[in-house]
Amino acid sequence: MTSFAERCGIHDAAREQALHDLAREIEASGLELVRIGWCDAHGVVRGKTLVASAVVGALREGVGMVSTLMLKDTSDRTAFKVFEPGGTATLPGFGFANNLLLLADPASFRRLPWTPSTGVLRAQPWFQDGKPVELDTRRVLQRALERLGEAGFAMKCGLEVEFHIYRIEDTQAQLDPLQAAWPGPPPAVSLVHPGYNLLAEAWYDLAEEPMRIVQHTAQALGLPLISLEIELGPSQVEAVFEATDALTAADNMVLFRNAVKMALRRAGYHATFMCRPPFPNIMSSGWHLHQSLVDPASGRNVFRRDTPAAGSTAADAQSTLSETGEHFLAGLLAHARGMAVFCTPTANGYGRFRPNALAPQAVLWGRDNRGAMLRVIGECGDGATRIENRIGEPAANPYLYLASQIHAGLDGVARGLRAPAATAAPYGGEGEQLPTSLGEALSALRADERLCAAFGANFIDYYTRLKQSEQIRFEQAEDKDEFQRREYFGRI
């Protein structure tokens, strides 16, 4: 009798060998528990914890998961009326809180460094008939990467992630059953450094204990961490990672966020990837995504140019980028407003787009210009030539953020789009403005027919429904600061 994994078409001799290898590793290392984790539409990891003896069977037959986990908004409310006639008519395979099955990848196994005798596996959902759940966001990126491969390219991405770490002073409100709510209150916190002293050694020393936890956690999980830095805002820090292929970069971001939050919590700290924590005088956190296209066979950087294009000036894209690089850059610009909701998906994140704050306001590009939305980095002959997108917030779902770059950039390549001149005044009022609210970003996505077609109508309908639920509740909230404290600060 065939296993569920075989019926799904993903189990072969190599995967069978990987199962045996994993079983031996679990037994030899004395593991007791393994978490089967899946990344939801909002970038949050959910899953189940299995005893060690159940893991191999779960890798063959799957782990049941209620389908409404895919239909939740950021408060965990189900955005679709699954028990009403027609409530899931636009979602074939969903209905009545039916079951999906999670199948984990044995090659994704990691031991968790902050808790004893526990490992983790990354999983994706399947329907019970063995068909993939196409609305799964990791699968959305996989389809985008297939399209990129068909065009003759692969993608490399480097991550620069800003976030905030606070010391937990009191969890009484958060854990008081009399104050439990939906969502509940966050913990009371204090700063780990006072801020406004960028890259100060003294502030790093002050925050060294939580920063060491971040370091040890990332390295124990095999993440390609390069540096940890003190950012400008109070309690704000940054982690920088080496470039990897795009899917690995997205997987790493999911793993990093989830892991450091739990490891720090064990030590009495609260990490938040919320863009703008709910305190006065904070600085917004961004997720700066460095990206380049490469030749799949040779690894050659397709954006690299050896000499400036004939007749070009420093303001021209092809003074630094190849022709393909310019087309990709122009595609990112053409779809900037439409992609914004994938890069900045929370109502909180749009407060970041303000002048002279090292965050963009307008759809512009610049050469090594941190005020522009897209920053072109590198000189002619530089194998590390790349485009940095600066509109992302650290709460973004990594799979959707990267997929939006691929679809937008490929459209520029397919149509041979040309980029305007580089900006010298990113806050000078030129250029189309980026969305200033979640509602405006959702409207911009719906208006972008090419981007919607690339993601697929079913996914766009599904995703915008989830975000509309969040947007409506935010607009109706009497105390929007309290909404953000509970919805984002305590949970993201």
Question: Residue 447 is encoded by which pair of tokens?
Answer: 């208006």
Please indicate, yes or no, whether residues 260 and 311 belong to a single structural domain of this protein: yes
pLDDT value of position 356: 86
How does DSSP classify residue 488? I
Same domain, 91 and 226: no
* Position 413 pLDDT exceeds 90: yes
pLDDT of residue 132: 98
pLDDT at 190 over 90: yes
**Domain ranges, residue 426:** 145-489
How confident is the model at residue 25, as a pLDDT?
A: 95
pLDDT tens digits for range 116-128 = 999 999 999 999 9
What is the separation, in whole angstroms, between the first and last Cα of the chain?
43
Tell me: pLDDT of 429 over 90: no
If asked whether residues 108 and 151 sit together in one domain, one would say no
Please report whether residue 138 resides in a domain: no
The two three-digit tokens of residue 8, written as one number: 């799904």
Q: Does 476 map to a domain? A: yes
Instruction: Confirm whether 447 is domain-assigned.
Output: yes
137 falls within a domain = no
In this predicted structure, what is the pLDDT of residue 354? Answer: 87
Q: Are residues 194 and 102 in the same domain?
A: no
pLDDT of residue 191: 98
pLDDT, position 439: 97
Same domain, 231 and 322: yes
Domain boundary among 131, 154, 173: 131
pLDDT of the residue at 299:
96
Give residue 258's pLDDT: 98
**Confidence at residue 208, expressed as pLDDT on a 0 to 100 scale:** 98
Burial class of 12 by CB neighbour count within 10 A (0 to 12, 13 to 18, 19+): exposed
- Do 219 and 79 share a structural domain? no
pLDDT at 37: 98
pLDDT of 9 higher than 90: yes
Identify whether residues 178 and 83 lie together within a single domain. no
246-266 vs 398-415: helix axis angle to the nearest 10? 160
Under the banding of pLDDT at 50, 70 and 90, the label for residue 355 is confident
Task: Give yes or no: residues 157 and 108 share one domain.
Answer: no
168 and 316 within one domain: yes
Q: How many domains does the chain have?
A: 2
85 and 11, same domain (yes or no): yes
User: Is residue 303's pLDDT more than 90?
Assistant: yes
Q: Is residue 312 part of a domain?
A: yes
In this structure, are 417 and 475 located in the same domain? Answer: yes
Distance CA 54, CA 451 (A): 42
For residue 8, tell me if it sits in a domain: yes
Domain termination site, one of 103, 131, 159: 131
d(CA 45, CA 255): 8
Residues 81 and 20 in one domain: yes
Residue 304's CATH number: 3.30.590.10
**Residue 213 in domain:** yes
- Does 136 map to a domain? no
The CATH number linked to 26 is: 3.10.20.70
Supply the mean pLDDT for the chain.
96
* Domain final residue pick, 84, 99, 131: 131
Looking at residue 104, its pLDDT comes to 98
